[in-house]
Amino acid sequence: MPLSISGRPDEAQGVKVIHAALDSGMTLIDTADVYCLDDDDIGHNERLVAKALATWSGDRDSILVATKAGLRRPGGRWETDGRPAHLKAACERSLNALAVDRIDLYQFHAPDPGVPFTDGVGAFAELQQEGKVRWLGLSNVSVDEIGAARGIVGVATVQNRFNPFFHESPHDGAIKYCNENGIGYLAYSPVGGGRLNKKLPGHPVLDPIATARRASPHAVVLAWVLARSPNVIVIPGARTVEHVVDSASSAELELSAEELKAIDDGEFSTA
Ligand SMILES: NC(=O)c1ccc[n+]([C@@H]2O[C@H](COP(=O)([O-])OP(=O)(O)OC[C@H]3O[C@@H](n4cnc5c(N)ncnc54)[C@H](OP(=O)(O)O)[C@@H]3O)[C@@H](O)[C@H]2O)c1
């Protein structure tokens, strides 16, 4: 997302960052049609991902690309649009932008208060039946909404915000529910997002752990998120090679029970 929204680097840098992620062993790329500047720029990040994959020296088939539909960017704003006609048109655009015949993982970006949630889920189910999508996922959903969707179609993943500043709220219980039901949980904004991640260096709980582990505070936080549950996957964003390589290092970092508890109990102010 940070490679395609306001403040994004140029395309060559974007491709470099994605290559660095893949070279570091990351195997899942999370994108969305709306990771762009506005409605005239829809698909910017999907096109960037397609370009990076086409020019990567590794095995393209080992990489899973997840994208989303259900939002729009009029005038650069973020607005929901869960109408089935929008979702179906968005799928055609995403197939084209990603240059694929089938989307690996297609996620309903967010419930639209103006459209019954199950209507949108039904559209995703039809896209899967038509062979345009392999797996379906949801995002920004509560346990009740996950349950409602599962009454219609199989749900492979749920993507909600989870970081030390926002412990699941307002979607409490989703990680546990997903784990009990064989659903992957993609923790978004795992280091706090573009603004709050800057508060990690110098944090009184993270700093001593980072020093002892010879890791960055960002990597410590990612290890803490990953330790939450076996079904949790982190999808950190980055605009620099240095940051993406550092984030990848968190996969090797196993925190002790005491360290995990210290972060659980730490104060992480959003102010
Ligand atoms: N489903 C949804 O509604 C939703 C909403 C938001 C995000 N997401 C997904 O979640 C992904 C990540 O979310 P996000 O970008 O909001 O938040 P994030 O990953 O918590 O934070 C991203 C920012 O933190 C910095 N950063 C990340 N790792 C770092 C490291 N190891 N060391 C130093 N700085 C580091 C990066 O700075 P630099 O840019 O300077 O490298 C980056 O811009 C997005 O790319 C998107 O795929 C989904």
Give 154-210 pLDDT, tens digit per residue.
999 999 999 999 976 556 799 999 999 999 999 999 999 999 999 999 999 999 999
* Residue 88 banded pLDDT, cuts 50, 70, 90: very high
Taking the centre of ligand 1 as the mean of its atom positions, its distance from the CA of residue 130, in whole angstroms, is 33
Active site (annotated) includes residue 35: yes
pLDDT in tens, 225-245: 999 999 999 999 999 999 999
Closest residue to atom 1 of ligand 1, CA basis? 139
Average pLDDT of the segment spanning 124-130 = 98
pLDDT in tens, 58-84: 999 999 999 999 999 999 999 999 999
**pLDDT for 193:** 97
Taking the centre of ligand 1 as the mean of its atom positions, its distance from the CA of residue 188, in whole angstroms, is 8
Percent of the chain with pLDDT over 90: 98
Average pLDDT of the segment spanning 32-56 = 98
What are the residue ranges spanned by the domains of the chain? 11-265
**pLDDT for 169:** 59
**pLDDT for 224:** 97
SS3 annotation, the chain: CCCCCCCCCCHHHHHHHHHHHHHCCCCEEECCCCCCCCHHHCCHHHHHHHHHHHCCCCCHHHCEEEEEECEECHHHCCEECCCHHHHHHHHHHHHHHHCCCCEEEEEECCCCCCCCHHHHHHHHHHHHHCCCEEEEEEECCCHHHHHHHHCCCCCCEEEEECECCECCCCCCCHHHHHHHCCCEEEEECCCCHHHHHHHCCCCCCHHHHHHHHCCCHHHHHHHHHHCCCCCEEECCCCCCHHHHHHHHHHHHCCCCHHHHHHHHHCCCCCC
Tell me which CATH code domain 11-265 carries.
3.20.20.100
pTM score, whole prediction: 0.98
Catalytic member of 35, 106, 185, 188: 35
**pLDDT for 101:** 98
